[in-house]
C-alpha cells in the first residue's frame, strides 16, 4: 500500500472528452441568434413576417451542421431529428395562430349591440345581425343535449354497472367507437331521411337538426361518462351494498354524485364539439332570415350555417355580408372556447379531492 | 370446494326490487337504442337512397349531367379518397413529429399544456376552417402554386391550367385545410401511444449508449407502429367525411384528374352534398342521399379497420 500514486492526467482527459462535443450553451445561442436575426430583418423592412420566419428557421440548421463537423454522424442525426420534431410543433402552431388572429381582427369590429339583437329580416346590404342564428344555435344545441345526455349516460351506466364485459356491452363499446367516426353530413342525411317520413319531401325543421347533432353527440357523451364511472372506486359501491342499499340507489346516490364533475365536463366538451357543426344543419335545418323559436316547424338558421351562406353566397355588394360572416365566426369561436374553459374549470374545481 | 357450492345453492337469492328492474331495463335499452340508431342510419339512407340508385338519367332532369348513378358517383368517390389521401400524406409526418415533441422532447412540465394547445385546433369549428381556407390560405398560396407550376410543371401533379396559370381554389388547398383539421386527432392518439412505451425499453436503449433519436427509433417506434397506423386510419375517416372546408375552398367540376393545382378539380361526396342539397328536389335528392350512403360505407370501413387494430393491440399491450 505504499506504492507512490502517479498524478492522474485529469485536465488532459477532460479536454479529450470535450474535444468532440459542442458546448452546451450552443443550441440556445443559435436559437436566440436566429430569432433575433428574424426580428431584425422584419423590423428593418426587407422581409415580410413569413419570409423572416423561414430565414430564421434556415439559420437554426447551423446546429446540426456544426454537430456534423465537430461531433460526428450519430450526434448530428440526433440533433437533426430534434430540430425537425420541434419544427413540426412550430408548424402546427402556425394555422392556429393565423386563424385566431384573422378571425379576431376581421370579426372584432363587427361585434356591437345591433349585431347581436337584429335578425337578417328585410336587410339588404349593410346592417342586420345574428340574433336569429344565435336563437337557432342555442335551441337546436339544447335540444340535442336533452336527447343525447340521457341516452349517453344510461348507456355508460349499462356498460360499467350492468354489462360487465358481456357480449352486448363489448359490441356497444366497439360500435360507439365506430360511431364517433360517422361523417357529420351523413348524420344530417339520416335526420332528413327520418323526418321525410313524417313531414314529406323537402322538410326543413329545427328538431331534425337536433336529432342529427344528437347522433354525433351520443358517442362522445358515452365515452366521457364511461371513463368517469370507471374511475369511481369499487369500495364505495361495496360499502353501499353492504348497508343493504339497492343497486339502482347505489348508482343514483353514490356512483353518479362521485362522478358528476367528470360527467359535466364530458357533456360540456361534447356540446362544444357539436355546436360548431355546419353540414347536418345545412341539410335539415336550412336557412332563414327571420327569428324562429319553434323547433317543430319551419326553417331555423344557426350560426355556422349563417357564416357559411354569408361568405359563400354574399350577394352584391359582397363586403357587408362577408363582414357579417367573420363576425358570426368570431362569436362561434368565442362560444366554443368558453365551453371548453367552463369544462376545464368544472373538472378543476369540482373534482373530488386528491384527483387534482 | 363442493361444500361451498352447496352452501351457495342454499343461500337466499338476491332480492330484485322493482326499482332495480326498471333501472337496469332503462340502461340496457339505452345501449340497445344506440345499436338501433347505427342500424337506422344504414336503413334510412338505403330506403331514401334506393330510388336515386335505380333512377334513369332522364328522370333526373339533367342534374347529374345525363349520367346514371354510378357514373355520377365515381368521380366523387375518386375526389373524396384523393383529397383525403393527400391530406394524410401531409398530416401524418407532422402529427408524428408533434406527438413525439410533446411526449419525448418538450420539457416534462410543459407537455400537458402543449398538448392542450394542439387540442385547441380540434375545437375550431369546421366552417371557420373553410373561411380561413377560402379567404386567407388560398390567397397566400397562389404565388407558391405559380412557382410550382413554373418550375415543376413537367410533373403531372403540378401541371396547372392547360392555358397557363394556376388556381388557388384547388384540391391541394382543400387537402391542406383537411390536413390541419385531422392533425389534432392523429397527434392525440400518437401521443398517448408514445407515452405508453415501456420505460424499461427506453432506459435500456439509453443505457447502451443510444442517442435520443436512436432510443426513439429502437424502442418507441416499434412499440407504437400499429397505433400510428390506426391513428392514421381514424384521421383518414375524418378527412373522408369532412364537408364544409372542402365545400368552401374547392372550385369543383366533377372530373377525374391528378392535377393538384388546376382550376378543374374532382369534388368530394360530402362537399357535393352540401353544395347541391339546399337546392335539390325530386329524385335528385335521393341521388344525393345515395351518395351519402356510399360515403357512410367508406368511412365505416375505414373506422372499423382502425378500431379493430386498436382492439387487437389492447389485448397485446395488456400482456406487457
Q: Are residues A199 and A321 in the same domain?
A: yes
User: Which DSSP category does A108 fall into?
Assistant: G
Facing A193 at nearest CB: one of B47, B118, B129: B47
Q: Are residues A172 and A55 in the same domain?
A: no
The pLDDT confidence band at residue A160, using thresholds 50, 70 and 90, is: confident
Residue with the three cell numbers 335521393: B286
What does the pLDDT average to over A330-351? 85
Domain membership flag for residue A10: no
- Cβ within 8 Å of A, B 53-92: none
| Alpha carbon distance B150, B160 (integer Å) | 9
- pLDDT value, residue B133: 87
What are the residues facing B265 on neighbouring strands? Answer: B252
Alpha carbon separation from B299 to A177, A181, B303 (Å, rounded):
13, 7, 6
| Alpha carbon distance B120, A295 (integer Å) | 31
Give the start-to-end residue ranges of the domains of chain B: 19-318
- Tell which CATH architecture fits domain B19-318: Orthogonal Bundle (1.10)
- Cβ within 8 Å of B, A 167-226: 168-169, 171-172, 174-187, 189-190, 192-194, 196, 201-202, 215, 218-219, 222
| Alpha carbon distance B220, B232 (integer Å) | 17
Query: How many residues are given for chain A?
Result: 356
**pTM attached to this predicted model:** 0.84
**Residue B221 near chain A (CB below 8 Å):** no
| Alpha carbon distance B116, B131 (integer Å) | 23
Q: Are residues A40 and A173 in the same domain?
A: no
The better pLDDT of the pair B318, A204 is held by A204
- pLDDT value, residue A352: 62
**Residue B239: closest CA among A91, A220, A181, A189:** A181
Q: Are residues A91 and A183 in the same domain?
A: no
H or E element: which one contains B314? helix B283-318
Instruction: Tell me whether residues A183 and B242 touch, CB distance under 8 A.
Output: yes
The better pLDDT of the pair A2, A23 is held by A23
Q: Which of A92, A109, A126 is the last residue of a domain?
A: A109
**Residue B1 near chain A (CB below 8 Å):** no
Q: Which three cell numbers stand for residue B1?
A: 370446494
Q: Are residues A193 and A274 in the same domain?
A: yes
Instruction: For A203, list phi and psi in degrees, rounded to 5.
Output: -70, 135
Instruction: For B265, list phi and psi in degrees, rounded to 5.
Output: -125, 150
Residue B196 class from Cβ within 10 Å (0-12 exposed, 13-18 middle, 19+ buried)? middle
Query: A interface mutation test: which of B22, B30, B184 has the most A CBs within 10 A?
Result: B30
| Alpha carbon distance A355, A74 (integer Å) | 43
Facing A172 at nearest CB: one of B35, B128, B296: B35
Rounded to a whole number, what is the distance in Å from the CA of B53 to chain A's nearest CA? 15
pLDDT tens digits for range B24-59: 888 888 888 888 888 888 888 888 888 878 777 666
The better pLDDT of the pair B178, A3 is held by B178
Instruction: Tell me whether residues A182 and B129 touch, CB distance under 8 A.
Output: no
Q: Are residues A94 and A140 in the same domain?
A: no
Q: Which three cell numbers stand for residue B202?
A: 427506453
- SS3 annotation, B178-210: HHHHHHHHHHHHHHHHHHCCCHHHHHHHHHCCC
Q: Which domain holds residue A264?
A: 117-349
Q: Are residues A272 and A200 in the same domain?
A: yes
Residue A167 with chain B: CB contacts under 8 Å: none
pLDDT tens digits for range A66-79: 877 777 778 888 88
Q: Which three cell numbers stand for residue A89?
A: 410543433
pLDDT for residue A178 is more than 90: no
pLDDT for residue B211 is more than 50: yes
Q: Are residues A170 and A266 in the same domain?
A: yes
Instruction: Tell me whether residues B278 and A286 touch, CB distance under 8 A.
Output: yes
**Residue B193: closest CA among B213, B220, B215:** B220
Q: Could you tell me which residues come within 8 angstroms of residue A136 by beta carbon, excluding any fewer than 6 positions away?
A: A206, A285, A292, A300, A301, A302, A303
Q: Tell me if B283 sits within 8 A of A201, measured CB to CB.
A: no
Q: Which of A109, A140, A157 is the last residue of a domain?
A: A109
Instruction: For B177, list phi and psi in degrees, rounded to 5.
Output: -65, -45
What are the residues facing A74 on neighbouring strands? Answer: none
pLDDT tens digits for range B258-306: 777 777 778 888 888 888 888 777 778 888 888 888 998 888 888 888 7
Q: Which three cell numbers stand for residue A34?
A: 436566429
Domain membership flag for residue A253: yes
**Residue B187: closest CA among A93, A117, A5:** A93
pLDDT tens digits for range A3-49: 566 665 566 666 766 677 777 787 888 888 888 887 887 777 777 77
Rounded to a whole number, what is the distance in Å from the CA of B196 to chain A's nearest CA? 18
Domain membership flag for residue A7: no
Torsion sign, CA atoms B114, B115, B121, B125 = negative
Q: Which three cell numbers stand for residue A128?
A: 342586420
- A vs B, Cβ pairs < 8 A, gives 276
Facing A183 at nearest CB: one of B35, B131, B295: B295
**Quick one: chain A helix, strand, coil %, rounded to 5?**
75, 0, 25
- pLDDT value, residue A132: 85
Q: Are residues A158 and A95 in the same domain?
A: no
Residue A161 with chain B: CB contacts under 8 Å: 27
CATH for A312: 1.10.3720.10
Instruction: Tell me whether residues B105 and A82 touch, CB distance under 8 A.
Output: yes
Facing B44 at nearest CB: one of A162, A179, A190: A190
| Alpha carbon distance B101, B212 (integer Å) | 12
Number of domains forming the structure of chain A: 2
Facing A186 at nearest CB: one of B19, B41, B135: B41
Q: Are residues A281 and A319 in the same domain?
A: yes
H or E element: which one contains B119? helix B108-123
Q: Could you tell me which residues come within 8 angstroms of residue B95 by beta carbon, excluding any fewer than 6 positions away?
A: B182, B183, B186, B187, B190, B231, B235
Facing A186 at nearest CB: one of B124, B295, B304: B295
pLDDT tens digits for range A283-304: 888 787 777 777 777 788 888 8
Q: Are residues A69 and A92 in the same domain?
A: yes
Q: Are residues A157 and A90 in the same domain?
A: no
Cis amide linkage into residue B120, ω under 30° from 0:
no
- Cβ within 8 Å of A, B 104-133: 105-106, 114, 117-118, 120-121, 123-132
| Alpha carbon distance A109, B298 (integer Å) | 43
Residue A177 with chain B: CB contacts under 8 Å: 303, 307, 310
User: Which DSSP category does A162 fall into?
Assistant: I
Q: Which of A109, A144, A170 is the last residue of a domain?
A: A109
Instruction: Tell me whether residues A193 and B44 touch, CB distance under 8 A.
Output: yes
| Alpha carbon distance A281, B221 (integer Å) | 41
Residue A89 with chain B: CB contacts under 8 Å: 97-98, 101-102, 106, 114
- pLDDT value, residue B165: 67
Rounded to a whole number, what is the distance in Å from the CA of B277 to chain A's nearest CA? 7
Amino acid at each position: 500500500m505504499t506504492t507512490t500514486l502517479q498524478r492522474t492526467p485529469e485536465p488532459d482527459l477532460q479536454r479529450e472528452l470535450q474535444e468532440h462535443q459542442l458546448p452546451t450553451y450552443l443550441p440556445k445561442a443559435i436559437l436566440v441568434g436566429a430569432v433575433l436575426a428574424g426580428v431584425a430583418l422584419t423590423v428593418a423592412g426587407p422581409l415580410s413576417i413569413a419570409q423572416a420566419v423561414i430565414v430564421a428557421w434556415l439559420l437554426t440548421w447551423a446546429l446540426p451542421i456544426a454537430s456534423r463537423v465537430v461531433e460526428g454522424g450519430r450526434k448530428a442525426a440526433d440533433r437533426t431529428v430534434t430540430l425537425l420534431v420541434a419544427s413540426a410543433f412550430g408548424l402546427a402552431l402556425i394555422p392556429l395562430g393565423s386563424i385566431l388572429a384573422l378571425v379576431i381582427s376581421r370579426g372584432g369590429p363587427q361585434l356591437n349591440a345591433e349585431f347581436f339583437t337584429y335578425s337578417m329580416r328585410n336587410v339588404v346590404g349593410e346592417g342586420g345581425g345574428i340574433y336569429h342564428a344565435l336563437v337557432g344555435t342555442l335551441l337546436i344545441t339544447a335540444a340535442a343535449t336533452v336527447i343525447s345526455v340521457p341516452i349517453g349516460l344510461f348507456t355508460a351506466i349499462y356498460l360499467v354497472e350492468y354489462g360487465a364485459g358481456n357480449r352486448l356491452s363489448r359490441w356497444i363499446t366497439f360500435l360507439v367507437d365506430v360511431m364517433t367516426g360517422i361523417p357529420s353530413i351523413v348524420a344530417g342525411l339520416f335526420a332528413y331521411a327520418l323526418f321525410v317520413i313524417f313531414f314529406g319531401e323537402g322538410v326543413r325543421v329545427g328538431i331534425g337538426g337536433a336529432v342529427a347533432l344528437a347522433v354525433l353527440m351520443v358517442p362522445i357523451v358515452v365515452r366521457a361518462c364511461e371513463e368517469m364511472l370507471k374511475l369511481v372506486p369499487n369500495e364505495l359501491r361495496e360499502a353501499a351494498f353492504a348497508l343493504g342499499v339497492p343497486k339502482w340507489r347505489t348508482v343514483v346516490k353514490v356512483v353518479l354524485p362521485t362522478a358528476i364533475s367528470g360527467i359535466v365536463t364530458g357533456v360540456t366538451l361534447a356540446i362544444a364539439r357539436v355546436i360548431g357543426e355546419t353540414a347536418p344543419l345545412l341539410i335539415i335545418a336550412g336557412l332563414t332570415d327571420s327569428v324562429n323559436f319553434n323547433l317543430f316547424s319551419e326553417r331555423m338558421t344557426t350560426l355556422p350555417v349563417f357564416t357559411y351562406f354569408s361568405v359563400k353566397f354574399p350577394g352584391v355588394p359582397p363586403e357587408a355580408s362577408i363582414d357579417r360572416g367573420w363576425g358570426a365566426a368570431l362569436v362561434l369561436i368565442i362560444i366554443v372556447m368558453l365551453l371548453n374553459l367552463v369544462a376545464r374549470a368544472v373538472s378543476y374545481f369540482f373534482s373530488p379531492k386528491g384527483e387534482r | 370446494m363442493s361444500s361451498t357450492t352447496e352452501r351457495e345453492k342454499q343461500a337466499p337469492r338476491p332480492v330484485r326490487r322493482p326499482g332495480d328492474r326498471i333501472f337496469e331495463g332503462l340502461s340496457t335499452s339505452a345501449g340497445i337504442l344506440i345499436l338501433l340508431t347505427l342500424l337506422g342510419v344504414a336503413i334510412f339512407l338505403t330506403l331514401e337512397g334506393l330510388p336515386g340508385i335505380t333512377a334513369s338519367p332522364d328522370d333526373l332532369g339533367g342534374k347529374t349531367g345525363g349520367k346514371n348513378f354510378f357514373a355520377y358517383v365515381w368521380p366523387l368517390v375518386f375526389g373524396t379518397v384523393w383529397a383525403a389521401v393527400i391530406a394524410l400524406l401531409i398530416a401524418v409526418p407532422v402529427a408524428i413529429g408533434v406527438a413525439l415533441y410533446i411526449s419525448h422532447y418538450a420539457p416534462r412540465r410543459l407537455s400537458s399544456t402543449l398538448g392542450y394547445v394542439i387540442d385547441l385546433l380540434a375545437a375550431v369549428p369546421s366552417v371557420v376552417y373553410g373561411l380561413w381556407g377560402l379567404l386567407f390560405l388560398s390567397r397566400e398560396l397562389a404565388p407558391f402554386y405559380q412557382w410550382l407550376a413554373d418550375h415543376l410543371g413537367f410533373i403531372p401533379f403540378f401541371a396547372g391550367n392547360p392555358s397557363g396559370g394556376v388556381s388557388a381554389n384547388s384540391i391541394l388547398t382543400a387537402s391542406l385545410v383537411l390536413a390541419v383539421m385531422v392533425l389534432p386527432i392523429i397527434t392525440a392518439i400518437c401521443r398517448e401511444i408514445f407515452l405508453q412505451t415501456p420505460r424499461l425499453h427506453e432506459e435500456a436503449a439509453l443505457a447502451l449508449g443510444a442517442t435520443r433519436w436512436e432510443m426513439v427509433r429502437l424502442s418507441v417506434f416499434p412499440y407504437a407502429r400499429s397505433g400510428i397506423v390506426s391513428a392514421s386510419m381514424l384521421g383518414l375517416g375524418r378527412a373522408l367525411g369532412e364537408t364544409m372546408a372542402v365545400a368552401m375552398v374547392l372550385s369543383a367540376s366533377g372530373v377525374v384528374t391528378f392535377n393538384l393545382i388546376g382550376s378543374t378539380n374532382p369534388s368530394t361526396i360530402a362537399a357535393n352534398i352540401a353544395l347541391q342539397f339546399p337546392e335539390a328536389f325530386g329524385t335528385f335528392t335521393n341521388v344525393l342521399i345515395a351518395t351519402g350512403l356510399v360515403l357512410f360505407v367508406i368511412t365505416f370501413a375505414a373506422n372499423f379497420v382502425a378500431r379493430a387494430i386498436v382492439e387487437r393491440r389492447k389485448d397485446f399491450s395488456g400482456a406487457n
